[in-house]
A = this chain, B = another copy of it.
């Protein structure tokens, strides 16, 4: 059987991660890549033996599946074009920068004959995947979540809301998909934000209510420090606490003596720790087996809705129902 031809549109850091992973999957070949910065495209093309395409359209046309790893503002037009062409699409997060755009992509993904998966990698990271299994038997009561950064300087475009769509779209959106994955749908939220170092709201405190009765606090700062762990989820249950520290460790304490079990992901490669390897394998699995993708355009839409709800709540000072 011939290999699935994969194209990559946008050849920055995350494109290199996916390309490296795809190179190890015998079912696919990276056959065409495109970037407006030709040297970026060349670098990935050379390491993969791929051709450099002159336009995104050429990538879409010549490939069976397309990775959309271009800047956030380009996701919608590229994703709809690829879906319209009935190609399989792996679209990096965020799916879109407005709810309307995200809904459009959901429509397109439904009418397309291709698989459509969104790059919410946290679901595949072993710490979160294992935590979800734990929560099957141990019902969570509430959660205390944070995701901070030390700066929006590396790379420099992370500090430009015209490129990212806003800090929450770039960084914190991971947590919004993660809470849906672990705890289900959000019913309402209230958020407070403040602006300090960047030309946008860069510090958030959020209170979340879930449809199943759970509740959670979420803090997200753009500009704190990189003190480990910059990402932490703490789940409170009956005589049990679960804590993740970045994608490095999962601590399970199911007693009232303070003893705990810590699962370390230290031995895994970064690609596995962060779930990139698993999400790429899952995407190819879905193509090969013609099964639904594990993260759908609808999931991408719901994350966008949560981001928008936080921005709206900050702006108007009111609780927002989802």
A29-52 interface code vs B (CB 8 A; 1 in, 0 out) = 000000000000000001101000
Q: How far is the CA of A243 from the CA of B255 in the complex (A)?
A: 21
Does the CB pair A207–B209 fall under 8 Å?
Answer: no
Looking at the assembled complex, report how far the CB atom of A262 sits from the nearest CB atom of chain B, in whole angstroms: 6
* Residues of chain A in range 219-249 having any CB-CB distance to chain B below 8 Å: 219, 221, 223-228, 234, 236-241, 243
Take A190-B319, A194-B142 as given contacts and tell me if A256 and B226 are in contact as well, using a CB distance cutoff of 8 Å: yes
Does the CB pair B206–A258 fall under 8 Å?
Answer: no
| Chain B hits for A193, CB < 8 A | 215
A266 on the B face (CB < 8 A): yes
Which A residues contact B (CB, under 8 angstroms)? 46-47, 49, 141-144, 146, 148, 150-151, 153, 190-194, 196-197, 203-209, 213-219, 221, 223-228, 234, 236-241, 243, 251, 253-264, 266-267, 319
Q: Is the interface of A mostly helix, strand, loop or mixed?
A: strand
How many copies of this chain are found per oligomer? 4
Q: Which of B205, B225, B259 contacts A142 (CB 8 A)?
A: B205
Does the CB pair A207–B190 fall under 8 Å?
Answer: yes
Q: Which of B218, B221, B240 contacts A236 (CB 8 A)?
A: B221
Q: How far is the CA of A234 from the CA of B27 in the complex (A)?
A: 46
Does the CB pair A151–B256 fall under 8 Å?
Answer: yes
Does the CB pair B258–A240 fall under 8 Å?
Answer: no
| Chain B hits for A143, CB < 8 A | 219
Looking at the assembled complex, report how far the CB atom of A12 sits from the nearest CB atom of chain B, in whole angstroms: 17
Looking at the assembled complex, report how far the CB atom of A115 sits from the nearest CB atom of chain B, in whole angstroms: 29
The chain B residue sitting closest to A265, CB to CB, is B258
